[in-house]
Amino acid sequence: MSDTFAISANRQALLDTIAAAAGAAGRDPGDITLVAVSKRQSEERLDAALAAGQRVFGENRVQEAQAHWSARRAGHPDLELRLIGPLQSNKAEDAVALFDVIETLDRDKLAGALRKAMDAQGRTPRLYVQVNTGEEDQKAGVAPAELPDFLARMRQVYGFEIEGLMCIPPVEEPAGLHFALLGKLARENGVARLSMGMSGDFETAVALGATSVRVGTAFFGDRDT
Ligand SMILES: *Cc1c(COP(=O)(O)O)cnc(C)c1O
């Protein structure tokens, strides 16, 4: 099967499943954005996704995202690019220049670098704070207990408007527990949007309030290793 046909069919199936999960939860499907995670996918597949009408993409590395999207953006001014992987402070300038949304804000040093880059470039990517809901040592993100103070600093010290919270649940635990926790943290802290859910669990995420789901393999097929 050609990439173009398969990806168009995958995309429609995902949109249908999201709509059904939203309907079952009494939600408006229009409130949920399908983010196609294009890391380690081929050029052909990226073009197939564009041909299918997909415009919102997630990437987890700045350099790879530049290679994938800098030229394609010229032909598609309505693209929306989201950074969903860890960001080093020394890449903040490049990230601000490329991305429309940065979902992995999780420390003051990075906030300072983003503020500086945003002021210098006059660009204001929308920002999400990553929360380490499973409190895993190896995982990025703000610990739940530290979130209120962190959000207060992001708003007061750096002047950021925080659009949403993002999480990546521990692989060995039921994702729903983490999605529910992220939703609770968002309500308690006055944050409007929730980036949660991947190929294996996006329906659960929609049921628990996700406003964007980050789907890679179920959209494009397996990634290059
Ligand atoms: C790779 C990745 C995804 C997509 O994962 P799939 O299981 O392929 O859908 C989602 N979120 C983040 C943060 C990722 O790094």
**Dihedral sign (CA 115, 82, 224, 216):** positive
Q: Are strands 80-83 and 212-215 parallel, antiparallel or unpaired?
A: unpaired
Both tokens assigned to 55: 């415009």
Q: Side chain identity at 94, as an amino acid letter? A: D
pLDDT confidence band for 57 (50 / 70 / 90):
very high
Both tokens assigned to 37: 């995670």
Residues 209, 197 contacting (CB under 8 angstroms): no
What pLDDT digit, counting tens, does each position of 4-31 carry?
889 999 999 999 999 999 999 999 999 9
Find the largest Cα–Cα distance for the chain. Answer: 52
Atom of ligand 1 minimally distant from the CA of 103? 13
| Mean per-residue pLDDT of the chain | 97
63 pLDDT exceeds 60?
Answer: yes
Both tokens assigned to 114: 């983003």
Atom of ligand 1 minimally distant from the CA of 37? 4
Q: What is the pLDDT of residue 1?
A: 52
215 pLDDT exceeds 60?
Answer: yes
pTM: 0.97
CB of 35 closer than 6 A to ligand 1? no
Percent of the chain topping pLDDT 90: 97
Residues 147, 133 contacting (CB under 8 angstroms): no
**Residue 115 Cα to ligand 1 middle (Å):** 27
User: Which residue, judged by its Cα, is nearest atom 13 of ligand 1?
Assistant: 84
Residues 7, 220 contacting (CB under 8 angstroms): yes
2 pLDDT exceeds 90?
Answer: no
Helix 147-156 with 108-121: angle, nearest 10 deg: 30
Q: What is the pLDDT of residue 55?
A: 98
pLDDT confidence band for 225 (50 / 70 / 90):
confident
Mean pLDDT, rounded, for 169-188: 97
Alpha-carbon distance 216 to 223, whole Å?
A: 8
